[in-house]
Amino acid sequence: MAALCIATWCTAAFAQDMAMPDASPTASGRMMIPEPLLVTVQALPGYGPAPLLVGFLVNAVDPSHAQIVSFNWNFGDGHLSTMPPTLAYNTYATAGNYVATVTVTTADGRSATGFTGVTVKPGAGGTPQQREQNQ
């Protein structure tokens, strides 16, 4: 593809190459690009001692109203899931800071990722130094 595109169709081809299958020129020559998918995720609770059971509530808003076809979860501790519910659970066994993400994909190929942090403190059975830090 050329470095500089002046024609409307060149712009349309570039937009379609960028994984925006619904991008198309209008009669006036303007590009119509679908509004972005918006994904948020919340960890409940987001902080506590190990082992910590955390529920994740995801909210996906698509102004185009396309069907959501997949959820790809990464809980940040090596656990992955493709379960489609908008509420998922994960148990964090080890103390640490984690970033959990969910990527939502629509039937028209658009996707967005939401993320949240989880902080897990050492459990009550830790070393004397860890127990002292927990107090």
pTM: predicted TM-score of the whole model, two decimal places: 0.69
Domains, the chain, in order of start with CATH, read: 1-33 (no CATH), 34-123 (2.60.40.10)
- pLDDT value at position 19? 46
Q: Are 54 and 89 in contact (CB under 8 A)?
A: yes
- pLDDT value at position 9? 35
pLDDT at 40 over 90: yes
Q: Kindly give, in sequence order, each residue whose CB lies less than 8 Å from that of residue 129, ignoring residues fewer than 6 positions away.
A: none
- pLDDT value at position 31? 77
Give the Cα separation of 100 and 85 in Å (integer): 15
What's the average model confidence in pLDDT over 9-31? 50
* Residue of 86, 89, 77 lying closest to 57 (CA atoms): 86
Whether the link from the prior residue into 45 is cis, omega within 30° of 0, is: yes
pLDDT at 107 over 90: yes
- pLDDT value at position 99? 98
C-alpha separations of 52 from 3, 5, 10, 76, 94 in Å: 51, 53, 52, 14, 9
What's the average model confidence in pLDDT over 14-24? 45
